[in-house]
Structure 1
Amino acid sequence: MYPQGSFRLGTVIRPNTPTGEYDIDLVCRLPITKESTTQAELKERVGRMLRAFMRWKQQQGHDDGPASCKATRRCWTLGYPDDGFHLDVLPTIPDLEKPPTGILLTDKQLHEWQHSNPIGYATWFQTRSQLDRHLVEAKRHPNVADVPDWDTRSTLQRLVQILKWHCMLYFVDDPDNRPPSILVTTLAARAYTGQRDLYIGAREVLSRMGDFVENRDGKLWVPNPAHEEENFADKWNEYPERRAAFVHWHNDLSALLDDLARLQGKGLKVLATRLSESFTPEAIERSVQVYGERRRRQTVTGAHRMGVGGLLTTTGTGPRVRPHTFYGQHPHPRG
């Protein structure tokens, strides 16, 4: 049993749903061959295990067990409503044609076994993240091993979180046309070229994402980098309106970043107002407060220096910016 998806990649975002539940994806891999079972048998076998686990928790009087166990198209969903999350457990077996981490998974709507490789994908995504050399240097710090992996996030991880956050809010009233998280994540990771600055990286990624949508024999194709035969854009061929919805979302976010560039120099309040039109206003307000307090501390401690072109910087070059007292040279007003 191991995690897959955003929790494994370090790109999870807070859900914008009435319940606010986090969706945690797990893989349950049984070491058996496809010749020894069927999709339906595998799905039911894992379901029996999970239902037995839930009953055992209840019989033992444990209050940390799942409240429900329900079958979905591919998974079994264990509900933990009091704890704010649910687990989607995916029944799988090894894909002997794609060792060592390839898997075959069940799907009640499809006759053939479906291929995937979550571990291989996570390894590929980590490699893309390490194009940010600053992250690589941070991971070499002797204390990093003492803290969770994602206390230091790469620019790519944070960039994907922003794309997913905007996408979630953009499609809040049209969830059927919302692009899958794995599709957005893959296109962003392919388009990322190592920028450390989050804003510059986002603009670059948005400008290049379309370059990685292939046309294979008339079908739109975004291959899984860990399994080229898996197409993350398969639904675009069945439902062209979903491709159109993706383009509209992409253009909306690109327009937002263009607006922010034009508003540079207009002040933090103006930028925050524009961001609040596309993101959660409360989150933007909290970020502005944190940013303002950090800038205040940097000024008070003398960390701010004047950089090239008159821009404030915290690097070690340029004249130091003196703290503002707002009442001239004297520490107290004259009596």
Structure 2
Amino acid sequence: MTPEIDREYSKILDKIAEKLDLTDTQYEIATRSYQAVASWLDAPDSPLRPYRPHISPQGSFRYGTVIRPLLEDEEYDVDLTCKLHISESQVTQQRLKKVVGDRLKANETYKRMLAPEKRRCWRLQYNDQFRFHLDIVPSIPDSPQYIQQLTSLLAVPRSLAIHALCITDNETWHTDIDFPKSNPEGYALWFLQCMRVEFDRRRLLLAEQLKKSMDAIPEYQVKTPLQRVVQLLKRHRDLCYGDNPNAPISIIITTLAAKAYQNETDIFVALRNVLSRMASFIELDEQGNRVVKNPVNPLENFADKWAENPEKERLFFEWLNRARGDFEQLAQKRGRPELSVPLKEYFGEGVVNKALNEIAEQTLKEREANRLFMAAGTGILSSQHTPKSVPVTQHNPYGSHKD
């Protein structure tokens, strides 16, 4: 493929991923909502105030790979941690979960919004107008001893390890298991490190376009090829397997994609490269079981369910091979009409139609402004002028004129 074709296909995939993404308004409403919850938990008269409660986003909302649900009337979820600054020796899982829930119930609005208690979290259900919910996981900082173990024995960078948390899980309350461990912020920072070069470059470009400082550009407004690749792969997975409980899980797709990404600047190139490399980051343990290590806690295997349920492993590799084939096949197509059929199969007809219509409108504007060029030998239209490209002039039907 030529660089012109890569750029053209990347533009289309970027626009499709944009249609999969939450809108700026959805991000802002969700952010204001969880910030309001944080203010309530940390209000001057709150019994939690002495423990300095802190709410922060986690999961795909935090690292910019969230996708809208397949159906318009489905909700999206915003995962949050609520960290109380108290040691593990001073509180039990049950008590930690209860005090956060009690404070939420003390607010009449939140009390009405609370769903039945979940395994690890409290869920606040927002109304149909916004179609989202907040999942709030109570947590406390993990011990200094455990953080030292992560850094000295498991080689996790201290800058990531210090965010380790203990969380609640009502399925472990009556067992000899200590607090379950988690580190969503450490993982998010690791994910950002995997794309740091391209993230900073794009943030700087956006700042220059908007004549703002880099710090004034919210992170969620910057999208790297890695983030777009993860979004596209998750939607491809969704359309392959629907609500099959054995379908590949997002944390495995995200982790392997991040490990495989090498700061490619082109989405289509990154997508094919990532798919070709992902399997090489799946390891084997001493028993021959497959392992996808949590990069901020190598003792955790994201693929631990594969050994007890081989169907999960089978479907993962089935999906990976299918995705490789699908996007290699896409590389053989020429022109938007040829592309549209497989794209609709991979990402959904509505999303692809919206993306292609917007690109067509933009192409028309560029043509009318005499900013459209055709790459020699490919027929690819682009706003980028190269030595071998030729300008595409406006098309005026016979007899028409402009004064």
Compute the displacement of 1:122 (Å). 1.1
Aligned length: 320
Query: Does 2:223 correspond to 1:153?
Result: yes
Partner residue in 1 for 2:99: 45
Secondary structure, aligned partner of 2:81: strand
Partner residue in 2 for 1:325: 395
Taking structure 1 as reference, are residues 139 and 214 closer, same or farther at Cα in structure 2, changes over 3 Å only?
A: farther
Partner residue in 1 for 2:87: 33
Partner residue in 1 for 2:280: 211
Code of the residue aligned with 1:15 in structure 2: it is: P
How big is each residue's C-alpha offset from its partner over 1:292-313, in whole Å with a ceiling of 9 and x where there is no partner? 1222222222223344645544
For structure 1, the residue ranges without an aligned partner over 5 or more in a row are: 59-64
Compute the displacement of 1:268 (Å). 1.2
Code of the residue aligned with 2:124 in structure 1: it is: L
Code of the residue aligned with 2:270 in structure 1: it is: G
Compute the displacement of 1:206 (Å). 0.7
Give me the whole-angstrom Cα distance separating, in 2, the residues matched to 1:79 and 1:31: 26
Query: Does 2:192 correspond to 1:126?
Result: yes
Taking structure 1 as reference, are residues 271 and 316 closer, same or farther at Cα in structure 2, changes over 3 Å only?
A: closer
Give me the whole-angstrom Cα distance separating, in 1, the residues matched to 2:103 and 2:362: 51
Secondary structure, aligned partner of 1:277: helix
Of 197, 202, 220 in structure 2, the residue corresponding to residue 135 of structure 1 is 202
Contact 1:130–1:136 (Cα < 8 Å) also in 2? no
Q: Which moved more, 1:100-109 or 1:205-214?
A: 100-109
Contact 1:9–1:122 (Cα < 8 Å) also in 2? yes
4+ long deviations beyond 6 Å: none
Partner residue in 2 for 1:240: 310
TM-score when scaled to structure 2? Answer: 0.73
How big is each residue's C-alpha offset from its partner over 1:122-162, in whole Å with a ceiling of 9 and x where there is no partner? 11111112242742542663524444322221111111111
Taking structure 1 as reference, are residues 136 and 81 closer, same or farther at Cα in structure 2, changes over 3 Å only?
A: closer
How much identity, in percent, do the aligned residues show?
35
Secondary structure, aligned partner of 1:177: coil
Give me the whole-angstrom Cα distance separating, in 2, the residues matched to 1:224 and 1:293: 43
Taking structure 1 as reference, are residues 17 and 322 closer, same or farther at Cα in structure 2, changes over 3 Å only?
A: closer
Secondary structure, aligned partner of 2:120: coil
Q: Which moved more, 1:22-31 or 1:298-307?
A: 298-307
Give me the whole-angstrom Cα distance separating, in 2, the residues matched to 1:240 and 1:210: 17
Contact 1:117–1:226 (Cα < 8 Å) also in 2? yes
Write out aligned runs for 1:48-197 (5 A): 48-53=102-107, 55=108, 57=109, 67-82=113-128, 83-96=130-143, 97-98=146-147, 100-110=162-172, 111-132=177-198, 134-135=201-202, 137-138=204-205, 141=208, 142-143=211-212, 144-174=214-244, 176-197=245-266
Code of the residue aligned with 1:167 in structure 2: it is: R
Alignment root-mean-square deviation, CA: 2.3
For structure 2, the residue ranges without an aligned partner over 5 or more in a row are: 1-54, 148-160
Query: Does 2:246 correspond to 1:199?
Result: no
Please identify which structure carries the higher helix content: 2
Q: Which moved more, 1:284-293 or 1:108-117?
A: 108-117
Which structure carries more relative contact order (alpha carbon 8 Å, separation 6+)?
2
Code of the residue aligned with 1:257 in structure 2: it is: F
Give me the whole-angstrom Cα distance separating, in 1, the residues matched to 2:258 and 2:377: 33
Partner residue in 1 for 2:27: none
Partner residue in 2 for 1:61: none
TM-score when scaled to structure 1? Answer: 0.87
Write out aligned runs for 1:240-279 (5 A): 240-263=310-333, 265=334, 267-279=335-347
Code of the residue aligned with 1:45 in structure 2: it is: V
Secondary structure, aligned partner of 2:78: strand
Contact 2:261–2:273 (Cα < 8 Å) also in 1? yes
How big is each residue's C-alpha offset from its partner over 1:172-193, in whole Å with a ceiling of 9 and x where there is no partner? 141x112222221111111111
Query: Does 2:281 correspond to 1:227?
Result: no
Secondary structure, aligned partner of 2:116: strand
